[in-house]
Structure 1
Amino acid sequence: MDFKNMTNPEGYKFTLPDGRYADGTWDLIIYITNLETEVTITGIEGNLSIGDLMLKTVQAAGVQIDWSDHMVWWEEKKIWLHKTRLTLNNYRVQAGTKLHFTPCHKTLRLQLPDMQLVDRRVDFSKNVVFAVQEVCNELGINHAEELSMLRKPEKGSKQNGKSTGTGTGRKKKQRGDRDSMASSNSNEAASIGSLDGIGPATPTRKPSPGNYRTPGQNGNPGYSSGSNYSGSIENLNTSLVNSPQRPSREAFDGLIRPTSYRDKASMNAGWLDSNKSLMEQDVRENDTLMLRFKYYVFYNLPQPGSSDIKHVRADSVRINQIYEQAKWSILREEVECTHEEMMMFAALQLQVSMQSQKPQQEVDGPSDGQDDIDKALTNLQVSLEGQTVSPGHTDITSVPELSGVLRYLKPKKFTLKGYKKAWFVFRDLHLSSYKNEEESNGQAIQRINLKGCEASPDVSIAAEKFCIKLLSVSPEGTQELILRCDSEDQYAKWMAACRLASKGKSMADSTYSLEVEEIKAFLSMQQSKKDSNNPIIPTDMPELKPENFVSPRALKKYKAKEIARSILDAHSGLQTLSLIDAKLNYIKAWQALPEYGITFFVVRTHGTRKDELLGLAYNRMIKMDINTGDLQKTWRYSTMTHWNVNWETRELIIGMEDEQIQMACLTCDCKIVHEYIGGSIFLALRKQDKNQVLDMDMFMKLTGGSESGVLE
Structure 2
Amino acid sequence: MFPTNNGNANHSFNNISGSSTPTPSTGFTIGDGSWELRVFITDLLMERVLRVKSDLHIGGVMLRLVEELDDVAMDWSDHALWWPEKNSWLTHTRSTLDQCGVTASAELEFTPMHKILRVQLPDLREMDFKVDFSMKTFNTVVDLCKQMGIRHPEELSFCKPITADDLKYNYAERQLKKQQQAKVPNGQLPPDTNTFVANKSISSNKSHNVSNGSLERSTHSAGTPSGTWRHPNSSMNSSLDQSFTKTVNVANADSLDASDKLNASLSNSLLSPEGARAKLPRPKSLLEKARMNVGWLDSSLSIMEQGVKEGHTLMLRFKFYAFYDLNPKYDAARINLIYNQARYQILNEEIDCTEEEMLMFAALQYQIKLQAKQPQTKQQMSADDDIERALNDLQVSLEGGNHITPNIPTSSDILHVPELKGFIKFMKPRRFTLRSFKEQYFVCRDLRLSYYRNNEEVDPVEVIDLPSCVATPDVHISTGRFGIRLEVPSAQHGVTEYLLRFSDTTMTHFQAEVRGIQAFLSLQQPRAPAVMSPEQHLADINVEEFVSPRFSRKIRGKGGWCAGAPSEPLGSTRILEAHGNFKDLGLMEAKLQFIRCWQALPDFGVTLFLVKHMGHKKEELLGVAFNRIMKMDLATSDHLKTIRYNTIKAWNVNWGTKHMMIQTESESLTFSCLTAECKVVHEFIGGYIFLSMRTKDANQTLDDELFHKLTGGWA
Asked if structure 1 preserves the Cα contact closer than 8 Å seen for 2:22 and 2:30, the reply is no
Quick one: structure 1 residues 544 and 7, their matched pair in 2 at CA, closer, same or farther if it must change by over 3 Å? closer
1:100 — aligned with what? Answer: 109
**What is the aligned partner in structure 1 of residue 684 from structure 2?**
676
Q: CA deviation at 1:655?
A: 0.3
- 1:452 aligns with 468
Which residue of the other structure, out of 530, 537, 540, is the alignment partner of 2:532? 537
Asked if structure 1 preserves the Cα contact closer than 8 Å seen for 2:345 and 2:351, the reply is yes
Shift of 1:195: 8.8
SS at match of 2:467: coil
Distance in 2 (CA, whole Å) between partners of 1:323 and 1:377 is 25
| Residue 552 (structure 1) aligned with residue 549 (structure 2) | yes
Q: 1:178 to 1:130 in 2, by over 3 A?
A: closer
Verify the 8 A CA contact 1:537 1:572 in the aligned structure 2: no
Please show how residues 254-403 of structure 1 align to structure 2 within 5 Å. 255-301=280-326, 311-365=327-381, 367-368=382-383, 370-371=384-385, 392-394=411-413, 396=415, 398-403=416-421
Counterpart of 2:503, as a letter, is D
Taking the aligned partners of 2:584 and 2:390, their CA distance within structure 1 comes to 32
- Contact kept? 2:124, 2:276, Cα under 8 Å: no
Aligned to 1:420: 438
Aligned to 2:540, what secondary structure does the other structure show? coil
Q: Verify the 8 A CA contact 1:347 1:571 in the aligned structure 2.
A: yes
Residues 116 and 201, structure 1, Cα contact 8 Å, conserved in 2: no
Contact 2:426 2:437 (C-alpha < 8 Å) held by counterparts: yes
3-state SS, counterpart of residue 462 of structure 1: helix
What letter matches 2:630 in structure 1?
I
Contact 1:527/1:570 (CA < 8 Å) preserved in 2? Answer: yes
The answer as to 2:654 corresponding to 1:646 is yes
Q: Distance in 2 between matches of 1:149 and 1:239?
A: 21
More moved, 448-457 vs 624-633 = 624-633
Task: Check whether the contact 1:183–1:201 (CA below 8 A) recurs between aligned residues.
Answer: no
Deviations 1:230-280 (A, max 9, x none): x96555433311113222635654x31000111111110010000110111
8 Å contact kept, 2:128–2:224: no
Partner SS, residue 437 of structure 1: coil
Q: CA deviation at 1:437?
A: 1.0
Question: Within the alignment, does 1:484 sit opposite 2:501 as a pair?
Answer: yes
Q: Cα distance 1:7–1:547, how it changes in 2: closer, same or farther (>3 A)?
A: closer
Answer yes or no: is the 8 Å Cα contact 2:125–2:229 preserved in 1.
no
Map Cα deviations across residues 55-96 of structure 1 (whole Å, 9 max, x no partner): 111122331111111000111111111111111111121112
Tell me the distance in 1 between the aligned counterparts of 2:234 and 2:455: 59
The answer to whether residue 37 in structure 2 is matched with residue 28 in structure 1 is yes
Please give the per-residue CA displacement for 1:4-63, whole angstroms capped at 9, x wherever unaligned: 55567899xxxxxxxx97121111110011111101112x11111111111111122331
Is residue 46–residue 87 contact of structure 1 (8 Å, CA) maintained in 2? Answer: yes
Return the alpha-carbon distance in structure 1 between the equivalents of residues 467 and 302 of structure 2: 41
| 8 A contact 1:153–1:266 mirrored in 2 | no
Closer, same or farther: CA 266–99 of 1 in aligned 2, 3 Å = same
Map Cα deviations across residues 308-330 of structure 1 (whole Å, 9 max, x no partner): xxx41311111111111000000
Tell me if the contact between 1:30 and 1:100 (Cα under 8 Å) persists in the aligned partners.
yes
CA–CA distance in structure 2, aligned partners of residues 394 and 575 of structure 1: 34
Partner Cα separation in structure 2 for residue 360 and residue 448 of structure 1: 50
Provide the rounded CA distance (Å) in 2 between the counterparts of 1:98 and 1:105.
Answer: 21
- 2:150–2:263 Cα contact (<8 Å) kept: no
SS, match of residue 111 in structure 2? strand
Check if 1:596 corresponds to 2:604.
Answer: yes
Q: Secondary structure at the match of 2:551?
A: helix
**Equivalent of 1:515 in 513, 516, 523:** 513
Q: 1-side partners of 2:360 and 2:143: how far apart? A: 36
Could you say what secondary structure the match of 1:489 adopts? coil
Contact 1:623 1:633 in 2 (8 A): yes
Aligned to 1:57: 65
For residues 673 and 593 of structure 1, what CA distance do their matches in structure 2 show? 23
Q: Please list every run of 5 or more consecutive structure 2 residues that lacks an aligned counterpart in the other structure.
A: 3-12, 24-28, 175-199, 204-220, 402-408, 561-568
Q: Distance between the aligned counterparts of 2:97 and 2:50, measured in 1?
A: 13
Tell me how far 1:184 sits from its aligned partner: 7.6
- Structure 2 counterpart of 1:392, one-letter code: S
- Counterpart of 1:313 in 2: which secondary structure? coil
> 1:87 and 2:96 equivalent?
yes
- The aligned residue for residue 606 of structure 1 is 614
CA distance in 1, matches of 2:260, 2:253: 18
Which digits, 9 at most, give the CA deviation of each residue in 1:634-662, with x for residues without a partner? 11111111000011110000001111000
Within 2, Cα distance between the matches of 1:67 and 1:649? Answer: 43
Contact kept? 2:159, 2:316, Cα under 8 Å: yes
Task: For 2:364 and 2:714, locate their aligned partners in 1 and report how far apart those are by CA, in whole Å.
Answer: 45
Aligned CA distance change for structure 1 residues 269 and 63 (closer, same or farther; 3 Å) = same
2:295 counterpart letter in structure 1: G
Whole-angstrom CA distance in 2 between matches of 1:424 and 1:386: 22
- For the 8 Å contact 1:409–1:420, the answer to whether it is kept is yes
Question: TM-score when scaled to structure 2?
Answer: 0.80
The alpha-carbon distance between structure 1 residues 287 and 380, as it changes in their structure 2 partners (threshold 3 A), is closer
3-state DSSP of counterpart to 2:456: helix
Q: How far apart are residue 152 of structure 1 and its match? A: 1.2
Match of 2:184 in 1: none
Matched, 1:406 2:404: no
RMSD over aligned Cα atoms: 3.5
Offset at 1:598?
A: 0.3
- 2-structure distance, mates of 1:355, 1:535: 13
> Gaps (5+ residues) in structure 1?
12-19, 164-170, 187-193, 209-225, 302-310, 494-511, 708-712
Deviations 1:368-411 (A, max 9, x none): 2x45666788999999x9999x9724352x53221111111212
1:474 deviates by 1.9
Name the residue aligned to 1:507: none
Identity %, equivalent residues: 42
State the AA in 2 paired with 1:279.
Answer: M
Note closer, same or farther for the CA distance 1:594–1:692 as it changes in structure 2 (3 Å cut).
same
| 1:464 maps to 2:472 | no
Shift of 1:543: 2.7
Paired positions, count = 622
CA distance in structure 1 between the partners assigned to 2:665 and 2:282 by the alignment:
38
Answer whether contact 2:37 2:49 (CA < 8 A) is retained. yes
- Whole-angstrom CA distance in 2 between matches of 1:8 and 1:179: 52
* Counterparts of residues 625-704 of structure 1 (less than 5 Å): 625-689=633-697, 691-704=699-712
Task: Kindly provide the CA deviation profile for residues 442-480 of structure 1, in whole angstroms up to 9, marking residues without a partner as x.
Answer: 111121111131111111222221111111112332111
**2:183 matched residue in structure 1:** none
Distance 2:356 2:506 in 1: 18
